[in-house]
Structure 1
């Protein structure tokens, strides 16, 4: 059994209670207060069920009690299904009796506005004062197949109960969480538990993921979230799941502006920036599902517990068309499909001259006449091809009664010989035949494209589980940050204290100082307006390039002062910044911004159209070390321009990574007053010549501490 954290042990009273009270218990099993009692009675909940209803002596055959104070024992958990004011009073009584956990079905709290949020805060104060864990309010509850605890009022149970199994579902949305549960049940997927967190006054999706990461009955975690309530708890849960080799597949909705607005009104959550969410989930090895089908496909395949690091896909098919479709899907996903070795291809050609042996390996419809081809071609695919995963496409032929038994015989032998490989079938067959294939150790998909997406996810899990924990990021000397946004010169001075180099430059208050600085730096120079109130200088013509002599500098100074006075008459002017004009490097952009959910996030990309139009950037949560910074730099599509493409000299990647890492540490250490840093452009000079920020903006939030 995996070790329990203190928080995980406390949540066991919620998910695995030994006794439960139902406040607002109903005799009618179709009502909200009656459904959980009926389900627990039917599924054999092992502990006492204590209905509370002041108007009845019994509820569904159980003795009922007029109030919480009248209960003959203190329930370990309670379900509250009464209106808001009565719910608050009931929670107070339960807390005073020592109940450890409560599920609030009751709605009408933070999701309704300010007054509801105040009422929800009172509930939280009661719970925390007494050390009680609170699920909800506005929760559809939870179910746990291990002990028959059905603390939910979902009507889905009228269509059937779940099969006990290894998949846990954690969902912020009640209705959609139970939609996921219902689909999983209908697909025959085995579930350990399903939890809906509602408004998350206390217990969050992150808390549930952490509990599942320690639960021996849960091997795969499927999560649905509209917004991350507590980022630190959420990330700690993902880290715990990865360390315990529990794959997490997640639907994080709110990608669009419309979706984010809906999430805010539904659960009063802050969705955050979607690209940042992608980067953070990838950091912890979480696979983000785009659709409900994809989430369930991935969870189902993950129960096979084969997570191939360095994943490659080999395909055996009876259809050339299917092979093309699968190849397209793999390419779109980024799942490698290297060709079979030349010698293996030649041997397959000798065995079947009209086959296509590259990968996909097409053994054609000839397999219907000679099913031993499946074994021989499969052996070549896995033995000589060495693929970590195999997708075997037999379409409707795999489900034909005249073929299925002999096909199973060939496949079972292959499975026995390569038990460490992930093997997936794409066949059309009746449910009994599909169950037989699954019992033989194969996952079965009708749609090969969906199979490819799930196979790719298994490799991503494997890579995450195999990766060593990153070395900690270096620390930097503490900086004394200004009280307000500094000028460019001051920004570069601060960055220089952190080892972030800028192009040689000098702040100049007069035209004569500018001329002297240009003469000392060497022509040509760049000249820019210097003002803490004008951050985006190029928008007002505040940057002059290629100033090649003293006359150009003197005239340029006058022009900059005129443009500043015209465009920003209230701005504080400190003069002009004169800098050496760099050439021969690759322009990059480095920066950070403070995400409302995950805190400081660093960004890297190439300058110019690559960031403006193509959005070719990499994001990562701060802080991180130089090795992670270099991986981030190499991950962008435009990385070949830095690595020496088309005869270019390679850029100084190490210097660039050092700058990016230090920027991330600086952002992390600065605290919430630092809103953003923008270094654009940064010149990555040829290898060994360093990297230099040509422009720098630091934004300080004056109302944060």
Structure 2
């Protein structure tokens, strides 16, 4: 096993620096919990005045501890951490954890202090967890080196699910929620500030652990995205699902960007694209984070997904509720197909519509098992969901018996259960049997949606370089030349003075002001459409120059851009952005001035291939009109897909932070696309 894995998860000797002799204090908890939950190694309290701490021999300093130490938990307040870490490094300890806060999260001074901690650790080859970390738990080996109050529980079920959480308090909350329903954990880690060790690197250590079948991530931010990508590839190869719950889904985060793309490609959309590309299952409810492993463990990502389930229920209202939630999540509860219907008829089970309602028959195990067995025969569903009503609360053995029998005698299609009442005993029975079980209709839909969306990590892309120079402050003409180098060439002319006119260009034309400082020109009078001839162009250019100078006096004006007027069947916004968390992403949506208003967009990690680009096109509602909707003319969607692929290739250009075409005009079939407006931003 990796030496760092041993130091973090199987330490034989643990130093508790700053351990309190007062059992009521927070800094006494790690020692109390280690002994409470059966740690069999050496506990080495470090205290400057006490000879003994809570029954264990104490040492004045780290240096006074005889022999080697595997792991140090620094429980001291912030001002004392730096000096003690130097002593830990000098002792040759492999890994240390810092409990205190007040570092990078508190401002510049704290950030500087945190940077010094990392520098000290790296000089000595010491790996650092935290600061602001609640520690490490390995329940299978009875190591509870943490101050999390959830460890007050008398017993904690061990299991084969690991949790790596950037929030220490959520580490305990998730553990206690799982314990209440018989779901045990193998390892739990609070990563805190991730000054050195990130959640991805720690999760990567657990991929090779034979005690781990699935890895859960509770994330506030994605740091070191390459580590997450490596984790996901290795976990997929090992057959271990990685499941993430990430904060930041609300629209209130600041979106600091100069183009439509920056505002539309918010960090959560980019995170979603990142998880999708790397085969990480993402859930949006806390219950689903605990419930999904039972569905995903031992099952590879679905190869041919129908995004449909068969549902049988012993409660009409409960069944209808989960069918509704599934529909909101984009999963269809499908009526029995002919094969399933024939099996139901043979069993004497009445069926009608998309919900197989057994309410009048009750939760008789034989009827539930027969219904599940029949729905397993359907060729157009991915999973069978059994909904159980009040019997799950009052007769748990009977309630789950039919589900267990169907699992033992049925086909390969997954079987899951949604228990409508509060039914902890039934949930525990199902957990022990490895049956996916859901406490709420929302978490049921969330889990099934995530499982249906699950794909293998995409191959690492390999792209040729784009040899095209850009000035430090590019204007639209520079952006158009860049897109032309990508294969998106549309005619335009640059006019340096108002009296200039384009040569060999078809009239009418559009005229725009050129400036590296103006991403949006319409609002300040910097765009004029439908100019019929050269005289009108010169007159409008002079007027435009004056308007823009008044409306945007700080903007540097570099001339004008003229282009032929183009009319197509539709418009798209096509953008590229280097997201601060996950890196390069490509965005496609309904274009024009309403792009931000309707937010009809989809996003992928860049680069993408043509198949993925076509999938993106299908996800944009406004572009469905161009697929021949109700007899409308078809647009050149293959050309649009090629344009998406081309723009996504900007991922190889580290010097570009953002680029956009809005609108990209889509013409009729086989007539291509036209760049109507373009913008690019150099990375700083």
Q: Give the alignment's TM-score, normalised by structure 2.
A: 0.90
Tell me what 1:508 maps to. 495
**CA distance in structure 2 between the partners assigned to 1:83 and 1:492 by the alignment:** 56
Alpha carbons of 1:650 and 1:372: their partners in 2 closer, same or farther (altered >3 Å)? same
**CA distance in structure 2 between the partners assigned to 1:481 and 1:551 by the alignment:** 33
Alpha carbons of 1:511 and 1:357: their partners in 2 closer, same or farther (altered >3 Å)? same
Deviation of 1:391 (Å): 1.2
Tell me what 1:148 maps to. 142
Deviation of 1:333 (Å): 0.8
Deviation of 1:536 (Å): 2.2
Deviation of 1:367 (Å): 4.7
Tell me what 1:490 maps to. 478
**CA distance in structure 1 between the partners assigned to 2:612 and 2:100 by the alignment:** 46
Tell me what 1:312 maps to. 308
Deviation of 1:419 (Å): 5.1
> 1:103-114 to 2 correspondence within 5 Å?
103-114=97-108
Aligned 8 A contact 1:491 1:696 in 2: yes
Alpha carbons of 1:9 and 1:644: their partners in 2 closer, same or farther (altered >3 Å)? farther
> 1:199-598 to 2 correspondence within 5 Å?
199-256=193-250, 273-299=267-293, 301-302=295-296, 308-309=302-303, 310=305, 311-342=307-338, 344-345=340-341, 348=344, 355-367=350-362, 372-384=366-378, 387-398=381-392, 401=395, 404-405=397-398, 410-418=402-410, 420-427=412-419, 428=421, 431-460=424-453, 463-465=454-456, 469-470=458-459, 472-484=461-473, 486-502=474-490, 504-509=491-496, 513-514=500-501, 517=503, 520-569=504-553, 571-598=555-582
CA deviations 1:205-259 (Å, max 9, x no partner) are: 2222222233221222222222233333334333433443322332222344767
Alpha carbons of 1:345 and 1:291: their partners in 2 closer, same or farther (altered >3 Å)? closer
SS, match of residue 592 in structure 1: strand
Structure 1 range deviating more: 640-649 or 249-258: 249-258
SS, match of residue 621 in structure 2: coil
Aligned 8 A contact 2:393 2:422 in 1: yes
Aligned 8 A contact 2:493 2:562 in 1: yes
Gaps of 5+ in 2: 256-264
SS, match of residue 34 in structure 1: helix
Aligned 8 A contact 1:473 1:623 in 2: no
> 1:68-87 to 2 correspondence within 5 Å?
68-87=62-81
Deviation of 1:570 (Å): 5.7
Alpha carbons of 1:259 and 1:225: their partners in 2 closer, same or farther (altered >3 Å)? farther
Tell me what 2:669 maps to. 687
Structure of higher RCO (CA pairs closer than 8 Å, 6+ residues apart): 2
Deviation of 1:393 (Å): 1.9
SS, match of residue 521 in structure 1: coil
Alpha carbons of 1:388 and 1:630: their partners in 2 closer, same or farther (altered >3 Å)? closer
Alpha carbons of 1:510 and 1:631: their partners in 2 closer, same or farther (altered >3 Å)? same
> 1:627-666 to 2 correspondence within 5 Å?
627-666=611-650
Tell me what 2:259 maps to. none
**CA distance in structure 2 between the partners assigned to 1:113 and 1:533 by the alignment:** 31
Select which of 604, 607, 621 maps to 1:623.
Answer: 607
Q: Paired residues, what number? A: 672
Q: Is 1:45 matched with 2:39?
A: yes
**CA distance in structure 2 between the partners assigned to 1:349 and 1:95 by the alignment:** 72
Deviation of 1:75 (Å): 0.1
Tell me what 1:264 maps to. none
CA deviations 1:565-591 (Å, max 9, x no partner) are: 433456554443221111234211111
**CA distance in structure 1 between the partners assigned to 2:517 and 2:397 by the alignment:** 75
SS, match of residue 600 in structure 1: strand
CA deviations 1:141-164 (Å, max 9, x no partner) are: 111112222211122222234211
Tell me what 1:158 maps to. 152
Q: Is 1:67 matched with 2:55?
A: no
Tell me what 1:266 maps to. none
**CA distance in structure 1 between the partners assigned to 2:266 and 2:222 by the alignment:** 8
Tell me what 1:678 maps to. 660
Deviation of 1:131 (Å): 0.7
**CA distance in structure 1 between the partners assigned to 2:506 and 2:672 by the alignment:** 19
Aligned 8 A contact 1:473 1:661 in 2: no
Aligned 8 A contact 2:574 2:660 in 1: yes
**CA distance in structure 1 between the partners assigned to 2:482 and 2:426 by the alignment:** 69
Gaps of 5+ in 1: 262-270
SS, match of residue 455 in structure 2: helix
**CA distance in structure 2 between the partners assigned to 1:72 and 1:260 by the alignment:** 52
Deviation of 1:525 (Å): 1.9
Structure 1 range deviating more: 381-390 or 679-688: 381-390
